Amino acid sequence: MAILVTQKTVACVQGITGKEGSKAARQMQAYGTKVVAGVTPGKGGESVEGIPVYDTIEQAKQAHPEINATSIYVPPTGVKDAAFEALAHGVSLVHIFSEKVPIMDATALYHFARLKGARVVGPSSIGILSPGHGKMGSIGGSNPAETFQKGEVGVISKSGGMVRELSWLLMKAGLGNTTAIGMGGDVIAASTYTDYLELFEADPETKAVVLFGEHGGTYEQQAAQMLKQKKFTKPLIALIAGKFAGTLPGSVQLGHAGAIIEGKWGTTESKIEELRKAGAHIAKIPDDIPDLVKKFA
């Protein structure tokens, strides 16, 4: 069983006429995702990869009422309007590829999604992939089978590249994914580690979860608190990158937009310590992860 993206997913791509949007639509279709519509204002009546294009989500939903998911490939200042329109018309899964979405827009989106009882993945998310079911977004590129295979391990990562790397390491070790998620690394994430861990906890086929984090922010500490409260009870293998950041002057900027550190708040060391105390199994390097999964799952 997968989470978020399943064989029941019926998708739309907002911004489908752009370079990245059209490429994502093509790759999603090739992997088995049912993409029935695209949306670009002013481009209604066109088609991309055989997919009809509409001016609005409302028009797309009128023609294809089965749409329940969308991937957004629009400029960052247009993300709020695109996502709000999708949520207002009953789309239950919104994936946002666009990065550097204005903080106030992302905050409003966070709250509106919860009001509507929907799930928003991103901003700055490479996508979601459930082997054997489908994918939303650009995750896995044009040949996901090179790095993803069906299995019993969930993967959550702020880094899009590391979703692929960790899934490839699992595959090499004879393991695989139920679902792999690129959470995104913007300052505000519409869904965080705890949201995904809750879904994986409820999924009977997921036996363990791999979490990749980095310096900055407190989402990893929130995950640790969830473990302490026994709200997530399956083995959690965590790899937190960025120890070297502690050796740099405080004024140096690096990492994703959400990689903000103040004093010890948000440091890699503090996250590792909190997760370890909560019962997570800490990997020092990516290659440690398959053995830890096999040992504890």
Helices (H), the chain: 19-30, 57-63, 79-88, 103-116, 160-172, 193-202, 219-228, 268-278, 289-296
Catalytic residue among 89, 95, 133, 256: 256
Q: In the structure encoding, which two tokens stand for residue 91, read together?
A: 């789309």
Burial 203-212 (b: 16+ CB within 10 A, else e): beebbbbbbb
256 is annotated as an active-site residue: yes
* The pLDDT of residue 153: 99
Amino acid symbol at 182: G
Amino acid symbol at 22: S
pLDDT tens figures, 232-246: 999 999 999 976 445
* The pLDDT of residue 254: 47
255: left (phi over 0), alpha (psi -120 to 50) or beta: left
Are 173 and 290 in contact by the 8 Å Cβ rule? The answer is yes
* The pLDDT of residue 68: 99
Which residues is 53 bridged to in the sheet? 38
pTM metric for this prediction: 0.93
User: Rounded to whole angstroms, how far apart are CA atoms 107 and 103?
Assistant: 6
Helices H / strands E in the chain, number of each: 9, 14
Fold of 10-296: Rossmann fold (3.40.50)
* The pLDDT of residue 135: 99
Per-residue DSSP letters for 221-287? Answer: HHHHHHHHTTS--S-EEEEEE-GGGGGS-TT---SSTT---BTTBT-HHHHHHHHHHHTPEEPSSGG
* The pLDDT of residue 217: 86
- Cα torsion at 265, 285, 98, 12 (round to 10°)? -130
Sign of CA dihedral 145, 11, 7, 204: positive
From the centroid of its chain, how far is CA 82? 18
* The pLDDT of residue 184: 95
Q: In the structure encoding, which two tokens stand for residue 171, read together?
A: 């595959």
pLDDT tens figures, 121-176: 999 999 999 999 999 999 999 999 999 999 999 999 999 999 999 999 999 999 99
* The pLDDT of residue 264: 56
Count CB neighbours of 7 within 10 A.
12
Each domain of the chain, given as residue ranges in start order, spans: 10-296
Closest CA to 122 of 36, 198, 187: 187
Give the angle subtended at the CA of 288 by the CAs of 294 and 273, to the nearest 5°.
105
User: Rounded to whole angstroms, how far apart are CA atoms 295 and 198?
Assistant: 23
* The pLDDT of residue 1: 80
User: Rounded to whole angstroms, how far apart are CA atoms 193 and 208?
Assistant: 14
Token pair 């029941």 is found at 8
Q: What are phi and psi of 245, to 5 degrees?
A: -60, -30
Q: What is the pLDDT along the chain (297 residues), one digit of tens a residue?
A: 899 999 999 999 999 999 999 999 999 999 999 999 999 999 999 999 999 999 999 999 999 999 999 999 999 999 999 999 999 999 999 999 999 999 999 999 999 999 999 999 999 999 999 999 999 999 999 999 999 999 999 999 999 999 999 999 999 999 999 999 999 989 899 999 999 999 999 999 999 999 999 988 899 999 999 999 999 999 999 999 976 445 445 544 544 444 454 545 578 999 999 999 999 999 999 999 999 999 999
Count CB neighbours of 168 within 10 A.
15
